[in-house]
Structures are given as C-alpha cells and as structure tokens.
Amino acid sequence: MKGLFSWATVVLLGFVSLFFIMKLFSYFQPKPSLPPSPMALPVIGHFHLIGYRVHQSFHKLSAILRPLFHVMLGSVPFIVASDAAAARDILREHEKCFVDRKTAETITRTGSLKELQWIRKEEVRKLLGLLYEKAERRQEWTSGRLLRGSATTGDQMMNSGGSDDCHGHTERGGLRRILWEHRSAAAQKEGRQGSLQLRQSDGADPRGGRAARKENSVKTAVAETIHHLRDARREIESVVGLSRLVEESDVPNLPLLHTIVKETLRLHPAFPIISRHSNAPCKIRGYSIPPTPESRSTFGFSRRCSWSVGRSFGVDVKGQHFHLLPFGTGRRMCPGMSLALQLIHTTLANVMQCFELSIVGGMAEMTEGHGASLPRAHRLVGTPKARIKFLP
Ligand code: HEM
C-alpha cells in the first residue's frame, strides 16, 4: 500500500513538472499579437461568454472591443471583425489569406439562371396555388409549410436538366452536370474567376443549408412586408397592372420591393456569421493573425442604416458595400445570390399581388431563433384572402 502511494506521488510530480516545463517553453516562444479579447477561463476559453445565438454574443462583445477582437473557443482562436472597415481590411485587402473553407465543391454559371427560369416560375405558381386553396377553404397558412416547396428550387436547379430525369435526381443533372464536366478543367486553371467558378462550401449538408437560408429569408420578408404592404402593392399595380402576374423581368422596375428585401436581409441576415479559415499568416491593423480558423460577424455592422421605405438607401447587397454583406463578398461570396434574389423578389411580389394577408394575433413576432441559417423563433401564422385570381 505504501509502495503504491509513493508511485502515485512520483507520477503526479512528473505531470506537474512537465506542465511547468511546457509553460516555461511557451513563455519564451514568440507569440503573435492577436487583437484584444475579454478575460478567458482556463480550458474553456471564452465559451462561457457565447450564448445560443452566437452572433448576438459577438455583437455584445463588439460593443466593448470593436472593431477587431478575438475569442478563444477552447484552444481555437476566433478573430471577429465587427465593423465595415475591419471587414473590408480582411475581405478585400487581405482576401488571399482568407479564401479557405472546408469540403464540397460547387460550381455556378451565370447563364444557367436564365435557362432554368421555368423551374422558378413553376415553384412560385405552386406556392400561389396552395395559398388560393387555403384562401378558399378559409384555412390558416403557416409560412414554414407553404414555403418548403419553393425552398427546394435551388436544389432542383442544381440537379435539373439531367438526361434521364427532368427534376434531376441524377448526379449529372443541371448545374451538378456542369460542375462534373468542368471540374477537372477548372481545377487546372490558375485564376478561378470569370463566369465559371470553382468553389467550396462549408457544412455537412450544404444543400439543406442554402435551402433553409432562402426559405428563412422569404419567410422573414413576408413578415416584414406585411407592415408595408399597401405602398408596395400600389407600386406593383402601377408598374405591372392587374391583368398578369409579376414576372422576373418586372423586378428591376420595382424599387420599393428591392428596398423591402434589402431591409429584410439587413435586419434579419439569413447567415449572420460568415466564417473563413486563414490559410497564411498575415498582419491586419498591426495585429498578427496566425493561419488558424478565423471568423467575422456581419451582425454588428449590418444594422446601422435605418429603415427607409420608398427609397433605396444607396447600399447594395452584392458584396460592394461592407456595411451590408448578406451574401458575403469577393471570390468566396455566395454563388446562389442571383438565384436567391430572383426568387425572393418574385415570390414576394406575387404573394403581395394576389393576396390580402393578415397575421393571427395582429403582429408578426420577429424574435430570432437559433441555428446557422437564423430561423425565426416563432412560426408566422396568418389567413390569406384572394385579391385577384390568375391561376385556373
Ligand atoms: C437568401 C439566400 C441566401 C443567403 C443569404 C446566402 C448567403 C451566403 C453567404 C453569406 C455565404 C458565405 C459567403 C462568404 O464567405 O463570403 C454563402 C455561401 C454559399 N452559398 Fe449562399 N446564400 C443564400 C442562398 C443560396 C442558394 C440559393 C445557393 C445555391 C443554389 C447558395 C449556395 C452557396 C454556396 C455553394 C456557398 C459556398 C461558396 C464558397 O464557399 O465559395 N446560397 N451564402
């Protein structure tokens, strides 16, 4: 028993001295000067400061530590940029260091968007058909259930056009086929730019992720729009009239609709945190950023502008203005942006044109839920009343 006790003491002393020797070594190693951070706890780092809604936790920290700070998620440093200038430094000035992300490859070609317009039209009509049905039966509608169909359009476009299945459940359909055909050629190219781009996407289920993002944006836009329906509808009626449905080609002539969508993306970004890995050491604002996982939050700076119905506030959502980056920017920005914007605008315009929507309870509850694609915490439940009937 006595021998066992002395062995345990020797092992324990060994571990303690190893710990102190390692500490001593690390003390003399040159350290990168990371941006400031709040007080960290041993082992867990800053996990105790991060809540369910990670972007909101970053936003709170950025009120004290803006514009650039770091948090330790366990032993992993996360650099967070929380204003437009810092985001610009990272995403434009040092873009080459932050183009990395993990896993699956995806490809996009701008021409395909036009070719596959029929799918989007079909999906929007399906949604309108469902709403007409609900209106006739005087049933309530739940945004989640109604929009699930249209949210799969992106996925259909990725797949459709395959030789044996027009809705393309084959690996070589549609954009996926284009990806297949061009992957090897594109991989050999040095500059991966132009209308054909080789990209990587994050997440274990990228298709589910982007469908959810678009679906959430349409739902939130519907909820936001309900407050500004009358003006938006007047605009649609003066531009398109009452004899036909709004088409994609009408969208550029509907500035109020654009403002509503833009404001929705600003107030409720479908993707509030965009994370990139740094693939090379770089210096930003005097801080040394090591080649480790890095992240920035669009949340802090995307809510600065004020709601302005009726006029666009001169900021675009296509990655040019670092105040508002719902689709990211640069080489790794969202390749589904044009598709998502087309769908959000036309779906919203068609719903506004055809239906009078009222929300059960009177007001839309806009509290944020949690999840990477930021769903709303409460479902939007309402009652549709048909204004004009276009479908048979
Ligand atoms: C409202 C809808 C959407 C929003 C707000 C959105 C937002 C984003 C954002 C912020 C990124 C990261 C960009 C960056 O790091 O700079 C991204 C990446 C991506 N998005 Fe979207 N997205 C939407 C819809 C879609 C759709 C419909 C598709 C496909 C059909 C799509 C496909 C992708 C892919 C493949 C990536 C990864 C790109 C890469 O890593 O290079 N997204 N998206």
Task: Write the CB contacts of 53 (distance below 8 Å, at least 6 apart in sequence).
Answer: 368, 370
Ligand 1, residues 277, 334, 339: which to mutate, most atoms within 8 A of Cβ?
334
pLDDT, residue 166, reads: 26
Residues 248, 120 contacting (CB under 8 angstroms)? yes
**Which residues does ligand 1 sit against, CB inside 6 Å?**
101, 106, 154, 158, 199-201, 206, 210, 213-214, 217, 270-271, 274, 276, 326-329, 332-336, 339-340
Residue ID of nearest Cα to ligand 1 atom 16: 328
CA 154 to centroid of ligand 1, rounded, Å = 11
pLDDT in tens, the chain (392 residues): 566 668 888 888 888 888 888 777 766 666 668 888 898 888 888 999 988 888 888 888 888 887 888 888 877 778 888 888 888 888 888 888 877 654 434 444 556 677 788 888 888 888 888 888 888 888 887 765 545 444 443 344 333 333 322 222 333 333 344 333 433 343 444 333 322 222 223 333 333 455 555 556 666 666 555 666 778 888 999 999 888 999 999 999 998 888 888 888 887 777 778 777 777 788 888 888 877 644 444 444 444 444 444 444 567 888 888 878 888 888 888 888 988 999 999 999 998 899 887 777 777 777 777 766 677 777 778 888 888 887 66
Ligand 1 atom 28: residue of nearest CA:
336
Strand partners, 79: 70
CA-based Rg of the chain, rounded to a whole angstrom? 25
3-state secondary structure of 212: helix
Are the C-beta atoms of residues 338 and 319 closer than 8 Å to each other? no
Position 318 scores a pLDDT of: 84
Cβ neighbourhood burial of 171 (10 Å; 0-12, 13-18, 19+): exposed
- DSSP label of 384: E
The confidence score (pLDDT) of residue 292 equals 60
Q: Which residue has the tokens 């430094």?
A: 89
Cα(296) to centroid(ligand 1), Å: 16
Question: Token digits for 190?
Answer: 């040095």
**What structural domains and CATH numbers belong to the chain?**
32-386 (1.10.630.10)
The structure tokens listed for 371 are: 């999840």
CA–CA separation, 7 and 249 (whole Å): 81
Question: Which protein residue's CA is at the shortest distance from atom 25 of ligand 1?
Answer: 336
| Ligand 1, atom nearest to 207 Cα | 29
CB 366 within 8 A of CB 225: no
Question: Would the annotation count 354 as a binding residue?
Answer: no
- Integer Cα distance of 61 and 298 in angstroms: 13
CA of 288 to the centre of ligand 1 (A): 29
pLDDT of residue 349: 92
- Phi, psi torsion values for 164, nearest 5 degrees: -110, 0
Report how far residue 254's alpha carbon sits from residue 247's, in angstroms, rounded to the nearest whole number.
Answer: 11
**Residue 77 φ then ψ, to 5°:** -80, 140
Task: List all residues 6 or more positions away from 114 whose beta carbon is below 8 Å from its beta carbon.
Answer: none
| C-alpha 151 – ligand 1 centre gap (Å) | 14
